[in-house]
Amino acid sequence: MLYFSSLSTFLLLLLLYPPPLSAQEVLVRLAGVGRRNANEGRLEVLYNGAWGTVCDDEVDLNLANVVCRQMGFQRGFTWAHSARFGEGQGLIWLDNVRCTGREVSIADCRSNGWGINDCTHAEDLGVICSPERMPGFPPVSLEDHPPSSRQQSRQRNSPQSVSPPAPPPAPASIASSSARGHEIALRRNATTSRRSNISPQENGHEIQILRRSRGGSRPGSQAGSALPQGHQLPPRLANGGSYRQRQETARNSLRREAGGQADRRTQSQAQHQSERRSDRNQHLSGNHIEPDPVNPDVGQDFDAHYTQGQTSASLEEVRLRPVLSRNQGGLVTEGVLEVKHAGRWRHVCSHGWDLSSSRVACGMLGYPAAEAFDQNAYRKLWDSKLSDPSSRLRTQTSKKAYWVEKVQCQGVEVSLSQCPVQLSNPRSDVPCRGGMHAVVRCVPGSQFTRNGRAPAPPAVPPVVRLKAGPRIGEGRVEVLVEGKWGTVCDHLWDVSAASVVCRELGFGTAKEALTRAQLGQGTGPIHMNSVQCAGRERSITECHYRPVPLYTCKHSQDVAVRCNVPHTGLQATVRLAGGREASEGRVEVLMEVRGERRWGSVCSENWGLNEAMVVCRQLGLGFASRAHQETWYWPGSSDASELVLSGTHCIGTEMSIQQCRRNTNIYCPRGGDGRAAGVTCVETAPDLVLDAQLVQETAYLEDRPLHLLTCANEENCLSSSAARMNWPYGHRRLLRFSSRIMNLGRADFQPRASRESWTWHQCHRHYHSIEVFTHYDLLTFNGTKVAEGHKASFCLEDTYCPDGIQKRYACYNMGQQGISVGCWDTYRHDIDCQWIDITDIRPGEYIFQVEVNPSLDMAESDFQNNVMRCRCKYDGARVYVFGCHAGDAYSAEVEDLFDHQQQISNNFL
């Protein structure tokens, strides 16, 4: 009787819980309301004889591709969430479905398991497939009954259609089984005979997580079918060597039954995976939950996310949702934190979240620091929404996919992806129990706190700066040591040190730590090498570093940074219209006109490169290569025909064109439309720098007869008093010198005018490609100009290039003019106009100044280093030139001393 009773129970369980279907037997179809074509609709799956829907959690385009191909469409276009094609009825078969895109059937994708979900039909998934059908599949129409994948398969294999051979079914040993859920069994009453055959580690309760196979039978499957399906309790909470030995024996016997080349490949993979698991878990003892590694990838993912909890999950992006706070000048500095993981935004649980983690999140958002604040208002709002039965938040927060359970940072990390992260708590069914979403308040840098106005000068003079960067928060790093600006050598330079620099300058953490002068070479001394920062330093000068011995590091090793910058919204207030590319066009700005904000054009009166640079940087497009004062060839937008900005004057450091000085009332004599302002932006630009040492070493006086200065006088290279002299008798006293101009930027320097537009000078018998290339001035200490000279560019060429750089520009035979990156153009002291006429100057002390590209006609990445200044002492018969340096080489305090004292050292290149 006992035998028949057990047999009847077994048969009853078989009837109630039939064996699982294989991947080839799981059918899919499209149904629902609001369908325009047969290739779109609510996704339904046939499993165990019943149609059910799929939840839209964690769905991506890979799933759409798999099910569309399963139904005979070529690919998936997109997917629709929140019951876009109406709510289904009955079961919800699948939730959190994750496909790679290579699966044959949706049953091969990973999921929570059949029938395991936390969704309602309001979250039913819809799919939109491409209308094109795969070869061998018949066409379908919306009027027809939506065919299932089985019906289409039958039609495809009928004699009337020619189809490619169907892919072989996946072997049982390699079929992905995570979509079947996990079987967990608890055996409390093992037989005495069994207990005598197992190791002491396996005594007590055995808990086993079994992945059910769809592709074939497993040893003991007949017995297993009598157990309940879904989340069950069959044998295994022992992890000892005897258990793994039995499991490996079972797998080997399964492979021998399956046979074939595919099983031989699978055997080697499973053995390799088993060895890795044995090595990893050999130190474990006692009760250990270990998944069956039928699919190695799934097993690893399961261990990382559920067994261990701690993971190196990549939190790709962060953002703040301003639930209660208001924006500060367009900035969102406070709100609920959201992080993106695997392409989906999640909330972070407040358990374990602290100010150190907030500091890291704020750094990713472009803010240098975070601050603590009272979060009671957020807790009240959270509790009120959870208590509202109609609140969607109440449903969402019950899902583990909504949360990142725990993030713990030390505060020195550059990104949250470097912090220990726990996506979910395997010991708790309720995610973030008793907590709420993490809330963060960031402290913006001083340059972002003036509500749209130009940044105020810093209260404390900075000791670090960024030079020659194409965008805000980018540039070559320069530090101030003993009043001199210098660069940093790239040995051991990393993102931690770069983040200290970025925070010091009012930005967030560093996105990149650049080496090998990737943003251009600097000049002057190299102050630091082997910089190593812990991450909490307030300045790079507090980090550990080594001084740089002379000639041990070159400027080709200068470091640079790219910092995280907060989203200010300024980029949305300017645009370019009509250009052939996104980087050029007519400038249109959003301004407040008569009490309302509207788009309009900009008057081109006094429009120059400084203004164009501000626009390009505001748009994130790099440097300005041209500032256009005529844009008739670029049509403007229909809603921006009115002039809304005139009299614009920018220094070049503004963060938006709206921050520049402008007319209160619109005044534009040139008119708008075809004469509106325009720009052309580029990613790289040249950077011209004068060799100060050569000027100092070659300066001397010459009394030159007038009859040798006829051509120079025609080019206005002499003082105005020369016109009152009795030509050709007499002489002029000239301060002569050589100048060498180097291009240290990242693009070649070329004249703006083409060869057809160059000016011919008959007396000197040469062309001028740039009418005024340099200014030479003699100034008093209060800045009054007492003498001046200028030099036209009659020959702009590569006079010298270092080894490894080929000369590209030469003046011979009216060749192309310019200066290549890394090359020099030298003007010798003995050519005409390479002087200052000081005939009328009284003896005394002066400032000798040379400025390259004075009218800013040609674009450069940095205009601040175009000026060179020297002290000059003239006693009536001799001249002494000393203390020559680039104009931005010293701090403001030291530069002030330079104007009034003689004790200043040289700053040579």
pLDDT at 796: 85
Residue 262 has pLDDT above 50, yes or no: no
Residue 92 has pLDDT above 50, yes or no: yes
pLDDT at 770: 81
Average pLDDT on 200-224 reads: 38
pLDDT at 48: 87
Give the range among 282-291, 547-556, 692-701 with minimum mean pLDDT: 282-291
**What is the spatial distance between Cα 9 and Cα 615, in angstroms, rounded to a whole number?**
80
What does the pLDDT look like over 157-193, one tens digit per residue? Answer: 443 333 333 344 443 333 333 333 443 333 333 333 3
**What is the spatial distance between Cα 482 and Cα 475, in angstroms, rounded to a whole number?**
22
Average pLDDT on 730-752 reads: 92
| Three-class SS state of 199 | coil
Average pLDDT on 613-631 reads: 94
| Three-class SS state of 236 | coil
Parallel, antiparallel or unpaired: strands 584-593 and 678-682:
antiparallel
Average pLDDT on 568-574 reads: 91
Average pLDDT on 504-509 reads: 95
Cβ atoms of 362 and 374 closer than 8 Å: no
Residue 295 has pLDDT above 80, yes or no: no
**Taking the alpha carbons of 419, 423, 428, 430 in that order, is the dihedral positive or negative?**
positive
Cβ atoms of 236 and 243 closer than 8 Å: yes
| β-sheet with 421-422: strand ranges across | 310-311, 421-422, 406-407
pLDDT: is 394 or 499 the higher one?
Answer: 499
What does the pLDDT look like over 306-347, one tens digit per residue? Answer: 333 444 467 879 999 988 866 555 789 999 999 998 888 999
Residue 617 has pLDDT above 60, yes or no: yes
Residue 234 has pLDDT above 90, yes or no: no
Radius of gyration of the chain measured on its C-alpha atoms: 38
Cβ atoms of 52 and 91 closer than 8 Å: yes
Cα–Cα–Cα angle for 656, 661, 665, nearest 5°?
Answer: 115
Residue 555's pLDDT band, with cuts at 50, 70 and 90, is very high
| Three-class SS state of 281 | helix
From the number of C-beta atoms within 10 Å of its C-beta (0-12, 13-18, 19+), residue 60 rates as middle
Cβ atoms of 137 and 156 closer than 8 Å: yes
CA proximity to 589, closest of 646, 664, 505, 661: 646
Cα–Cα–Cα angle for 58, 59, 61, nearest 5°?
Answer: 140
User: What 3 state SS string does 486-542 have?
Assistant: EEEECCCCCHHHHHHHHHHCCCCCEEEEECCCCCCCCCCCEEEEEEECCCCCCCHHH
Highest mean pLDDT among 73-82, 284-293, 450-459, 890-899: 73-82
Residue 318 forms beta bridges with which residues?
A: 339
Inter-axis angle of helices 241-258 and 261-281, to 10 degrees?
Answer: 170
Percentage of the chain exceeding pLDDT 70:
75
pLDDT at 388: 85
Give the range among 131-140, 175-184, 603-612, 769-778 with minimum mean pLDDT: 175-184
Residue 256 has pLDDT above 50, yes or no: no
pLDDT at 737: 94
pLDDT at 227: 36
Residues 6+ apart with CB under 8 A from 390: none
Cβ atoms of 358 and 375 closer than 8 Å: no
pLDDT: is 84 or 20 the higher one?
Answer: 84
What does the pLDDT look like over 104-116, one tens digit per residue? Answer: 999 999 998 888 8
Give the range among 86-100, 390-404, 559-573 with minimum mean pLDDT: 390-404
Average pLDDT on 581-599 reads: 91
Other CB atoms within 10 A of residue 451 CB:
10
Residue 243 has pLDDT above 80, yes or no: no
In eight-state DSSP terms, residue 18 is: P
Average pLDDT on 833-859 reads: 91
Percentage of the chain exceeding pLDDT 90:
44
From the number of C-beta atoms within 10 Å of its C-beta (0-12, 13-18, 19+), residue 605 rates as middle
**What is the spatial distance between Cα 774 and Cα 789, in angstroms, rounded to a whole number?**
9
Residue 665's pLDDT band, with cuts at 50, 70 and 90, is confident
Which residue type occupies 399?
Answer: K
pLDDT, the chain, mean: 78
Count of helices and strands (H, E) across the chain: 16, 43
Average pLDDT on 143-151 reads: 53
Scanning the structure block, which residue is given the tokens 């626009």? 615
Cβ atoms of 656 and 848 closer than 8 Å: no
Parallel, antiparallel or unpaired: strands 596-602 and 334-341:
unpaired
pLDDT at 241: 42
What does the pLDDT look like over 530-549, one tens digit per residue? Answer: 999 999 999 999 999 999 88
**What is the spatial distance between Cα 464 and Cα 504, in angstroms, rounded to a whole number?**
8
Residue 85 forms beta bridges with which residues?
A: none
Q: Alpha helix (H) ranges present in 144-260?
A: 149-156, 192-197, 221-224, 241-258
Q: C-alpha dihedral over 449, 451, 457, 459, to 10 degrees?
A: -40
pLDDT at 732: 92
Q: Alpha helix (H) ranges present in 543-647?
A: 609-619
Residue 511 has pLDDT above 90, yes or no: yes
What does the pLDDT look like over 58-68, one tens digit per residue? Answer: 888 899 999 99
What does the pLDDT look like over 429-445, one tens digit per residue? Answer: 888 988 999 999 999 99
Tokens of 349: 């649980």
pLDDT: is 124 or 272 the higher one?
Answer: 124
**What is the spatial distance between Cα 694 and Cα 746, in angstroms, rounded to a whole number?**
24
Cβ atoms of 628 and 691 closer than 8 Å: no
Cβ atoms of 845 and 862 closer than 8 Å: no
Give the range among 462-476, 539-553, 801-815 with minimum mean pLDDT: 801-815
Residue 425's pLDDT band, with cuts at 50, 70 and 90, is confident
Q: With a threshold of 0.85, does the pTM exceed it?
A: no
Residue 362 has pLDDT above 80, yes or no: yes
Cβ atoms of 475 and 562 closer than 8 Å: no
Residue 824 has pLDDT above 90, yes or no: yes
**Taking the alpha carbons of 298, 299, 300, 304 in that order, is the dihedral positive or negative?**
positive
Residue 901's pLDDT band, with cuts at 50, 70 and 90, is low
